[in-house]
Structure 1
Amino acid sequence: MKKYIPSIFVSIFFLIIYRLGSFSKIPFGDSAGKIIDIENNEFNLETYSITHFLYQNFTVLIYKIFPFIDAIEIGRWINIISALLVLFILFKTIYKTTENNWIAFITTIVFGFSFTFWKNTENVEVYTFSLIWIVSYCYFAISYLKTKEINSLLFAGIILGISFFSHIQGVLLLPSYFFLCFFNSQKKEKTFLTLIPILFLGLLYIYPIINQESIKNVLSSSSQSWISNTFKKTSSDYLKDGVKAIGYLIYNFWFFNLFILFIPFKQFFKNTILIFLTLIGIPVFCFSTVYAVSDNYVFFLNFNLSYCILLAIGLQYFISSKPNLKYIISFIIFATPFNYYFAKEIALKTKKGQEFHQEKAYKDGLNYYLLPWMNNNKGIVEVTIQNKKTEEDIEWMKESARKIIKNRANKLSKDELNNL
């Protein structure tokens, strides 16, 4: 029973943290659209990059089973429960990697407090749900590298394939899976194992082919120019993207980033687990850095996951020679929420920070951009009802908000709608 205490503590601790910090009003971004999908109460067979087949149909299934629960609450709790599952499996994955309970515990806390993961957990979005499949893939892949049991590799391939139905970004993990197949399995099994996620990828094309729609929608979007715009950037743009990506890394993991430096460089070419995690991280990091969308920070989540496991390995190297620093490291990690608060307060002291805070006042300014928790937030529905001016085009968000208003107008007063 004693060995389960850390993972149980993590689950209860973050259940409290995430519920207390969850949104008070429907946030900006895709949240309103996701809630409308739930309220429509219809399964969607489209397997496109923007429909997120698995997530959308799972939320609708839960709504059909529990129709008495508000769609907003279903969206909220699926996110929170997904996050707890991610952290539980991540703990198991890190423990399997390092065989050290304290390292697994403290690194899981680090990831739970990381800005991008925490922020998305407090929202209604697909990314936390999608991460269940990615962390499960990592668990079985590392299990295979540790034990060479073929069933673990089989499960890794199936889970990676399933992840494509949750979010198509999972295809960026294919190089890491091919590494497992070609360098670590018997020859007679390579072809079969390699084809498993490819088969799942092929299944995504059945719907558009049958319905004579653009197959481009599977990996991209025929109505959006995100991919093409990515390749139209100038050298200066790419440089700024790189600096911003490093900034995301610092803001997610703070001083914990330093532990990557304690992994001997040669080990990245010798240790199969390090090679595997690097092959996950590099494609995701490069793609997310240059991807031409305004909220590209969310696309780093798969990278953040593999990177966090690398940091755990770095911590293992560090703590083996300085075990007396465990308590200091633990204290600093549990103080992470204060980092976000003080970062916002410092930014508000600067002229640019104050200007930005005013420009984005309709989103609650720096509170929205620098704090991961979203309780007492400003919402898209109130901005739509009050027709507040915004300095960016959020008409697509307002369109979803208007549908929510229409669906609830006969049941709620204007004040109640404002508080949605």
Structure 2
Amino acid sequence: MNLHGRSVLAAALHLILLAVWIGSIAHRGTAGRDFYQVLGVPRDAGEADIKRAFRKLALRMHPDKNPDDRLAEQKFKELSTAYEVLSDNERRRVYDTYGEEGLRAQAAGPAGGGGGFFEPFDLFEQFGFGMPGGRTGRRRRQAHSEGDLPPGPELVLDFPVRLEDLYNGAVHEVAHRRQVRCAAWFRSCEHACNTCGGRGIRIVTRQLGPGFVQQIQSTCDVCGGRGRVAQEPCAACPHGQFETQERVLMVDVERGAAEHTRIPFEGEGDEGEHHAAGTVVLVLRSLPHRRFWRGAPGTDGAAHLHHNVSITLAEALGGFERNITHLDGRAVRVARTRGHITRAGDVLVLRGEGMSAAGVRAGSSAGDLHVHLQVQMPRDGALSVSEMDALLRYLPKSGEGYAEVAPRTLFMGDAQEGAGRVAPSDVHQEL
């Protein structure tokens, strides 16, 4: 066989092997990880559905939100990879046809460029999110050549939260607008100061007399000590040195968080001409609740909850039962059995139904729920003369039939009292 024939045969064999390889990949389909399952979307999901699913899961699965999960970072990277593939029409087409092997082949080939996937936390940053502690903020500062600029001033803001959020824990998305330096500023719009040679200081030499010279070091008055000056105007930054950036701060209100708890977001403040981004601090402020109020925390950080309940005179004398809807939606039963007289101002205490300390898992030590009882008396004229006579006939006369009027604190764990939890469907009278 001549040289031309061998070349044709080799090319044919190459094409056959390539077809077999592609066929094996196509047969396997989406072998490997199921990116649709990772994002929790159907295979025909649109671009908006995929973006919405990633945004929701990214907030919940971010490693900063799951510090005790050793696999949190791995899960977050897998989530980011799934989004990066399915949000790109070309990569999604390759994945749907050939699975992950097809993506690897595409990345390794000349057309793929070996680009690989986005760094997952950069992807989170692109969505405009900031987490407490500033992981994304730190990454952003490191990405720019800001030199040794000190951080800017701390910005402290009140953040009002509901008592339900402090009792159960919650995550809030807070829109945040800040001033940032144009990304191209350091690269294209600044140059070393010609006056000080980029050192930020000037040395002035003065002749004091024959043989006497004085050198004075001072901050360069041209660059302000930075060593760099701006090139005005700068074509790379049409809005000037600074522009407005929209951010979303993920405010993680921890279960049992105390009033005035500070939640810092490092690197989420404004950038300035002479400083890098500072820290934004949100200070929790509890909003008044129409039914509950929170007492001062104890030495362990737990706090009691308080709640008012009004009962009638008949219930004070003959017993009562109430179901209180708690801050987590549960119905909690409070009762006094017949034969136990309730006095105005008595307090029923339900152990462990108050606020836990911050960082304590659910079911652990918590404060108590104090139910303050208020006795409603009948209005003038509500009882007829005969009804009043009948009532007075059975009430004890003054003397040993009456107790001290001081209110008492009654723990619902005592044998003579009734307390417990009931399903919401069992609620008879909600308080």
Q: Same fold (TM over 0.5)?
A: no
Give TM-score, length-normalised by structure 1.
Answer: 0.23
Higher helix share: 1
Q: Which has the larger radius of gyration?
A: 2
Structure number with greater CO (CA < 8 Å, separation at least 6) is 1
